[in-house]
Amino acid sequence: MNLKKLNPGLLWMQFEDVLAPRLGLSVKERAVYSYLLRHSLVVGKPRLQFAVIALARTLGLSFGAARQAVRRLDELGALRVLERSKRGHLAEMRVPEKIRAIRLHKNDALEALGAAAEPAASTHETTDFLKTWALRKAIHDRERGACFYCFRRTSGKVRCLDHVVPRVRFGPNSYRNLVSCCIECNTRKGDRPAPDFLRTLYRLGRLTPAELDARLRALKDLAAGKLRPALPENGK
């Protein structure tokens, strides 16, 4: 990419209209990507060095949330962490049009995110459901267009995947730990345990007593492996 020709207006539109919704970025992930881009490609530098603690402080995030956002952006290919050291992270930023998952949407996205370079996982239990677009879609499809937590209708633009057990607590990218939810729930839940968050929704009047019971049961079924999404046909 020719950095001198970077068009900030176009970049901003690509970020808001394509990258964030298509990758299902949370508000925190948007903030982190936007901030890091501002201090790298926007000023003509493909790479930047930053400390997660300083990033968190600047953006008003917890350390865990900032670290989680950087990790997820790395997994999605929106940036590449090249080095972690005492001085912090050294990362290479990607503009939306250079992110393979975006360029090669749908079928070709199977090759995106580096998945093609690794052997295909064929069973539910060994599959990383954040790995490809098709696998992430399988989780969204399982919830049938409703937020797992609050039942609100979700669409491609207003949904994301949430780790029931947060990644900061080592929650895996398993179908037993990932749910499709609305952006508001994803943001409000943060790093809290899911049952606590459901009870908060109940206290706020967003869930009826019966719905709360149903959601708490669904959480148990999820962890027990009873809510298996349909795997994409080629196993990826």
Footprint on this chain of Zn ion (rule: CB under 5 A): 147, 149-150, 152, 181-182, 185
* CB-CB neighbours of 236 under 10 Å: 20
Q: Report residue 59 CA to chain centroid gap.
A: 18
Q: Which is nearer to Zn ion, 59 or 158 (CB)?
A: 158
Q: Which is nearer to Zn ion, 92 or 184 (CB)?
A: 184
211 vs 160: CA distance, rounded Å: 21
Q: Which is nearer to Zn ion, 25 or 99 (CB)?
A: 25
* Minimum CB distance to Zn ion, residue 65 (Å): 18
Q: Which is nearer to Zn ion, 78 or 207 (CB)?
A: 207
* Minimum CB distance to Zn ion, residue 180 (Å): 10
* Minimum CB distance to Zn ion, residue 190 (Å): 13
Q: Which is nearer to Zn ion, 14 or 200 (CB)?
A: 200
- Judge contact between 149 and 129, C-beta under 8 A: no
* Minimum CB distance to Zn ion, residue 184 (Å): 6
Q: Which is nearer to Zn ion, 37 or 147 (CB)?
A: 147
* Minimum CB distance to Zn ion, residue 182 (Å): 3
* Minimum CB distance to Zn ion, residue 189 (Å): 9
